[in-house]
């Protein structure tokens, strides 16, 4: 049995034929070619597949595409500006060397962006607690945490400068 | 995952009808347990009835002095709710400590208690607060709802609509989380209520969440952490696995109970 879902992915509307059992991660990667969303453990634990659905971070490997029919989805490909300027979180990961092999990075970045939406001034402990659902097997947490704190400070600074 | 039919009804009545029309259907709440179960092919329902579009199941409100939380309210929404924080802050601790942020953004109260995982957090909170589970057909006291590992009093096709939590005089939840899964290895919910002290334990026993009458009696006489010192928790019936022995869990139950009593202030 197949059905269709209509989503807005990274600002672009799209209608895709899926089965009810098609996972959102499979829709993004296999149907739309957005392979920046990684599938690591496929058991809801590692967080490499985290995307935003209607602004909230969510594990796309544990979401049926049909569940999010009509939603706005943002993937790692949708963060940078159209001219290629990196999102401040991506820039902070680059500046702080917040990655080693890079496999967990898309999920880490998407999760971190959601953290700063809900808590613009997290403590180091809050950042580490927030990353509970994102696993880095290179043990690179130190620089990831540093990058997120740096991004939060940069964004606060930019906001103060604007005021 | 096996092939499955899918429906997304807009009302409780339509959801119940869709499930009863299915050969072997299952309600889909947040799916944080069900979808991984389907992916591992440990379950093969013919139909999924998605509850995500039903407004009646959403939201947090009050009923006199009690909180009423819709079955499809996510853990993140409970953890962030000013209403919950002012009425029963211990529920903020419970909801905010489940899984990880992405699980809390999607997982729901109704899904958690309908599944009744023996290490889930909410069953302990419902028992500890003496909550009531409201379904499409009746009201079930928490004491009668949780029947053992993954078992509840729900009949086939019965749907949880909301949970009513009476406001306690004071309450707190202390949990020793499994470092990997964040499920509780021992979680103790303590509440001082107008009708007495209630203590509920989750995570430690194979049979799931249960009350601790010996602790309730001791705390009824003297509501202080020290009142629990003479109590020895019986390890019989507690889980023994690679995460911890039954004796270790028995000790954790007491330590968490004392922390919860201390946190009641």
**With pLDDT > 70 as the criterion, what percentage of chain B qualifies?**
100
Cβ atoms of B198 and B127 within 8 Å: the answer is: yes
- Domains, chain A, ranges and CATH? 3-78 (3.10.20.30), 88-162 (1.10.150.120)
B85 and B193 both lie in a single domain: yes
Per-residue pLDDT tens digits for B219-264: 999 999 999 999 999 999 999 999 999 999 999 999 999 999 999 9
**Structure tokens given for A132:** 């509970």
Q: What is the mean pLDDT of chain B?
A: 96
B159 and B71 both lie in a single domain: yes
Range of the domain at B67: 58-263
Mean pLDDT throughout B148-175?
97
Cβ atoms of B36 and A43 within 8 Å: the answer is: yes
The pLDDT assigned to A159 comes to: 84
Q: With 0-12 CB in 10 A as exposed, 13-18 as middle and 19+ as buried, what is B245?
A: middle
The pLDDT assigned to B105 comes to: 98
B21 and B109 both lie in a single domain: no
Residues 70-109 in A contacting B (C-alpha not used; CB under 8 Å): none
Mean pLDDT throughout B44-73?
97
| B46–chain A Cβ distance below 8 A for any pair | no
Which residues of chain B neighbour A132 with C-beta distances below 8 Å? 99-101, 182
B28, A67: Cβ pair inside 8 Å?
Answer: yes
How many whole angstroms separate alpha carbon B144 and alpha carbon B133? 10
> Nearest CB to B36: which of A20, A62, A133?
A62
Mean pLDDT throughout A94-107?
96
Measured between CA atoms, how close is A131 to chain B, in angstroms? 8
B106 and B230 both lie in a single domain: yes
> Which residues, other chains included, contact B226 with Cβ-Cβ below 8 Å and sequence gap of 6+?
none
Which residues of chain A neighbour B99 with C-beta distances below 8 Å? 132-133
B82 and B159 both lie in a single domain: yes
B119 and B216 both lie in a single domain: yes
Question: For an interface test with B, which of A19, A21, A111, A134 has the most B Cβ atoms less than 10 Å from its Cβ?
Answer: A21
CATH number for B30: 3.30.43.10
| Element spanning B165, H or E | strand B160-166
Chain centroid offset of residue B167 CA: 17
Task: Count structural domains, chain B.
Answer: 2
**With pLDDT > 70 as the criterion, what percentage of chain A qualifies?**
100
Residue A163 above 90 pLDDT? no
Measured between CA atoms, how close is B103 to chain A, in angstroms? 7
Angle at the Cα of A151 (from A78 to A34), degrees rounded to 5?
20
B118 and B235 both lie in a single domain: yes
Contacts 24+ apart (CB under 8 A), B228-237: B228/B254, B228/B257, B228/B258, B228/B261, B237/B205, B237/B206, B237/B207
B119 and B79 both lie in a single domain: yes
| Element spanning B141, H or E | strand B139-141
How many whole angstroms separate alpha carbon B137 and alpha carbon A135? 43
Which residues of chain B neighbour A47 with C-beta distances below 8 Å? 100, 102
> Nearest CB to A1: which of B3, B80, B101?
B3
Question: For an interface test with B, which of A49, A67, A71 has the most B Cβ atoms less than 10 Å from its Cβ?
Answer: A67
How many whole angstroms separate alpha carbon A43 and alpha carbon B104? 16
Per-residue pLDDT tens digits for A10-28: 999 999 999 999 999 999 9
| A127–chain B Cβ distance below 8 A for any pair | no
B8, A66: Cβ pair inside 8 Å?
Answer: yes
User: Is the dihedral angle over the CA atoms A141, A145, A146, A148 positive or is it negative?
Assistant: positive
| B138–chain A Cβ distance below 8 A for any pair | no
B4, A47: Cβ pair inside 8 Å?
Answer: no
B62 and B46 both lie in a single domain: no
The pLDDT assigned to A139 comes to: 74
Which residues of chain A neighbour B117 with C-beta distances below 8 Å? none
Which residues of chain B neighbour A66 with C-beta distances below 8 Å? 6, 8, 50
Per-residue pLDDT tens digits for A44-58: 899 999 999 999 999
CATH number for B167: 3.30.465.10
User: Is the dihedral angle over the CA atoms A154, A159, A160, A161 positive or is it negative?
Assistant: positive
b/e per residue, B16-46, with b = 16+ CB within 10 A? bebbeebeebbbbbbbbbbbbbbbeeeeebe
B90 and B193 both lie in a single domain: yes
* B181 to chain A: closest CA residue: A45
Measured between CA atoms, how close is A58 to chain B, in angstroms? 5
């Amino acid at each position: 049995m197949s059905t269709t879902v209509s989503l807005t992915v990274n600002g672009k509307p799209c209608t895709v034929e899926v089965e009810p059992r098609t996972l959102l991660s499979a829709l993004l990667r296999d149907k739309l070619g957005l392979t920046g969303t990684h599938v690591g453990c496929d058991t809801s634990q590692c967080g490499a597949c985290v995307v935003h659905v209607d602004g909230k971070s969510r594990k796309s490997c544990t979401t049926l595409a049909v569940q999010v029919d009509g939603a706005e989805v943002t993937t790692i490909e949708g963060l940078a500006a159209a001219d290629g300027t990196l999102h401040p979180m991506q820039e902070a990961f680059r500046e702080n060397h917040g990655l080693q092999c890079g496999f967990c990075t898309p999920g880490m970045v998407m999760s971190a962006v959601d953290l700063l939406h809900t808590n613009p001034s997290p403590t180091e402990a809050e950042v580490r607690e927030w990353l509970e659902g994102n696993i880095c097997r290179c043990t690179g947490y130190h620089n990831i945490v540093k990058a997120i704190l740096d991004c939060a400070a940069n964004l606060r600074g930019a906001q103060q400068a604007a005021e | 995952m096996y092939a499955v039919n899918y429906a997304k009804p807009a009302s409780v009545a339509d959801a119940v009808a869709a499930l009863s029309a299915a050969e072997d259907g299952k309600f889909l709440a947040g799916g944080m347990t069900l979808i991984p179960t389907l992916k591992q092919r440990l379950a093969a329902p013919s139909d999924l009835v998605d509850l995500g579009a039903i407004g009646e199941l959403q939201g947090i409100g009050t009923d006199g002095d009690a909180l009423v939380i819709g079955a499809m309210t996510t853990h993140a929404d409970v953890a962030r709710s000013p209403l919950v924080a002012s009425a029963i802050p211990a529920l903020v601790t419970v909801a905010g400590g489940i899984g990880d942020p992405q699980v809390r953004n999607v997982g729901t109260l109704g899904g958690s208690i309908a599944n009744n995982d023996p290490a889930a957090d909410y069953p302990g909170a419902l028992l500890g607060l003496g909550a009531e589970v409201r379904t499409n057909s009746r009201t079930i006291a928490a004491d009668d709802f949780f029947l053992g590992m993954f078992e509840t009093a729900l009949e086939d096709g019965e749907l949880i609509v909301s949970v009513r939590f009476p406001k306690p005089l004071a309450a707190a939840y202390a949990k020793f989380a499994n470092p990997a899964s964040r499920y509780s290895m021992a979680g103790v919910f303590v509440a001082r209520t107008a009708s007495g002290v209630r203590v509920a334990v989750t995570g430690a026993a194979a049979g799931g969440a249960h009350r601790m009458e010996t602790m309730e009696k001791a705390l009824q006489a003297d509501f202080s952490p020290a009142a629990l010192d003479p109590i020895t928790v019986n390890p019989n019936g507690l889980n023994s696995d690679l995460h911890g022995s039954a004796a270790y869990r028995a000790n954790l139950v007491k330590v968490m109970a004392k922390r919860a009593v201390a946190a009641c202030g």
